[in-house]
Structure 1
Amino acid sequence: MISRDRVPSIVLVAMLALAGCQTGPTGEMTTIDVAQGSNENIASLTSVVERSPQDPEAYNVRGSAYGRGGRYREALQDFDRAIQLSPNFYQAYANRALIHRFLGDQQKALADYNRAIQINASYDAAYVGRGELYRKAGRTQEAFNDFQKAIQLDTTDGRAYHRRGLIYQSQGQHAFAIEDFSTAISLSPDSGEPYNGRGVSYLATNDEENAFADFNMAIKLNDRDAEAWANQALIYERRGDKARASKSYARAAQLDPNYGPATEGLSRTRG
């Protein structure tokens, strides 16, 4: 049982039940600037590697850039080399774990997160990464424990609060979820995901105005978030504005044709 006193469980509208919980690995290399994935930057980092071929940090940085650019196999090679040069390089283990996750090898990812934590039990990023691995595997209590540990370590990674908020939300503990989503927003103000998550919990507590504001902000920050569009559409639908609801559902379905709440909502409001 997850710790903290339980608040009364609130059942979400069926079409919305998973809307705040669909998260992927996108953006999880939070310490890596987007520009690091560019060919120009990788060329520059390669020059550093060539000048210092025995420097594990050079391989770790270039591996992170490869990962940001979606060049996962090359990223793995660089993290492998960094670890070979420095067997206790816990950051490289955590980075390699993330690449294994992207490639679908969850067992190798878990082994690397475990090794990073074994080397440095205070490394918050490894707890956040492993917690997300557990959460996606349905190992909710273990996920919660890892997010909790990262938070106890005073992490500044908003994902720890966002993901713990999703767990609270799935348990119907919306007051705690809203608190965590709000902290995630304060730490990662440019991320739309915690706004969408908080909106789901606001709606579950019948706070439609704040829910609508959060869904709108999620879309403003990321207009390719199908869930946020579908959630915005649901508010329009609840208000009887079928024309706007249909338009937002259509946008959500365009972005993700397999997203059930979008296609179901579109069929309800079309015409």
Structure 2
Amino acid sequence: MDKNQAGIQFMKEGKWEEAAQAFMEAIEAQPADPVAYINFGNVLTAVGDTDRALNFYNKAITLDKDATTAYYSKGGVYYDAQNFEEAKNMFELAMKKGLETGDNYFMLGMSLAQMGNSRLALPYLQRSTELLEDDAEAHFQYGLCLAREGFIDEAITSLEMAVQLDALHADALYNLGVAYGFKEDGEKALEMFNRALKVQPDHLLAGHGKKLIEGQNLQ
């Protein structure tokens, strides 16, 4: 196992110091290889040292302007810092350089959604669900985006897929309740709010939705 593979294994085990050591040795052995710089940056990101992480990602890009995962990793740092404009730019660059992964489409869509551009986010989030078929969060976020743009029937389909993949996804259940309420299907809306509360009893929005539906039923 080479140093990069060893470092990745250490990361999976949460052994950050050992991972950092392995990647540093990989850099020393092959200082012109961008991969180890990206991996070391990922360790720094994981432990919260994002300023230094960006330096390593930038070094990787200096060595290889087409190092797609460096752009993707930079995008992740900016996204976590709520700098969604810069995050969007990095995910777009990664895509233009050839990174056609579900994760990159998802994060590009999420960045646009966070910037209030739900309509622009839709095709990227849709593509992420195609590439990440079994990812409940991808289907959930796509469903939310559809709902924001008024595509309620399509949103219900996507949110139901999220729940099918993760029956304990309280937010997907709550938003299904909202969607059914919008369709004036109070019985189905109440069912979803109750399911959300069963998963997460302190889900305030689901509790509020449940009271609204029950109040309407009493009238």
Residue 236 of structure 1, CA deviation: 4.3
Cα distance in 2 between the residues matched to 1:159 and 1:61 = 21
Query: Which of 63, 76, 79 does residue 7 from structure 2 map onto?
Result: 63
Map of 1:161 onto structure 2: 105
Map of 1:36 onto structure 2: none
Cα distance in 1 between the residues matched to 2:46 and 2:28 = 22
What stretches of structure 2 of length at least 5 have no aligned partner? 215-219
Q: Are the structure 2 counterparts of residues 217 and 63 from structure 1 closer, same or farther at C-alpha, using a change threshold of 3 Å? A: same
TM-score normalised to structure 2 length: 0.83
Paired residues of 1:233 and 1:248 also in contact (CA < 8 A): no
Tell me, yes or no, if structure 1 residue 217 matches structure 2 residue 138.
Answer: no
Tell me, yes or no, if structure 1 residue 129 matches structure 2 residue 73.
Answer: yes
Map of 1:197 onto structure 2: 141
Paired residues of 1:249 and 1:263 also in contact (CA < 8 A): no
Q: Are the structure 2 counterparts of residues 95 and 210 from structure 1 closer, same or farther at C-alpha, using a change threshold of 3 Å? A: same
Residue 77 of structure 1, CA deviation: 2.0
Q: Are the structure 2 counterparts of residues 213 and 75 from structure 1 closer, same or farther at C-alpha, using a change threshold of 3 Å? A: same
Q: Are the structure 2 counterparts of residues 211 and 252 from structure 1 closer, same or farther at C-alpha, using a change threshold of 3 Å? A: farther
Tell me, yes or no, if structure 1 residue 253 matches structure 2 residue 200.
Answer: yes
Query: Which of 200, 205, 208 does residue 264 from structure 1 map onto?
Result: 205
Cα distance in 1 between the residues matched to 2:169 and 2:40 = 27
- Provide Cα deviations, 1:72-123, integer angstroms capped at 9, x if missing partner: 3322221122112222221122122222222122112212211111111101
Map of 2:191 onto structure 1: 244
Tell me, yes or no, if structure 1 residue 150 matches structure 2 residue 91.
Answer: no
Give 1:171-210 correspondences, 5 Å limit. 171-210=115-154
Cα distance in 1 between the residues matched to 2:31 and 2:126 = 38
Query: Which secondary structure does the structure 2 equivalent of 1:150 belong to?
Result: helix
What stretches of structure 1 of length at least 5 have no aligned partner? 1-47, 49-57
Q: Which structure shows the bigger proportion of residues in helix conformation?
A: 2
Tell me, yes or no, if structure 1 residue 138 matches structure 2 residue 60.
Answer: no
Query: Which secondary structure does the structure 2 equivalent of 1:61 belong to?
Result: helix
Number of matched pairs: 209
The structure with higher relative contact order (CA 8 Å, sep 6+) is 1
Paired residues of 1:113 and 1:129 also in contact (CA < 8 A): yes
Query: Which secondary structure does the structure 1 equivalent of 2:186 belong to?
Result: coil
Map of 2:217 onto structure 1: none
Query: Which secondary structure does the structure 1 equivalent of 2:3 belong to?
Result: helix
Q: Which amino acid aligns with 1:128?
A: Y
TM-score normalised to structure 1 length: 0.69
Cα distance in 2 between the residues matched to 1:125 and 1:78 = 19
Name the larger-Rg structure: 2
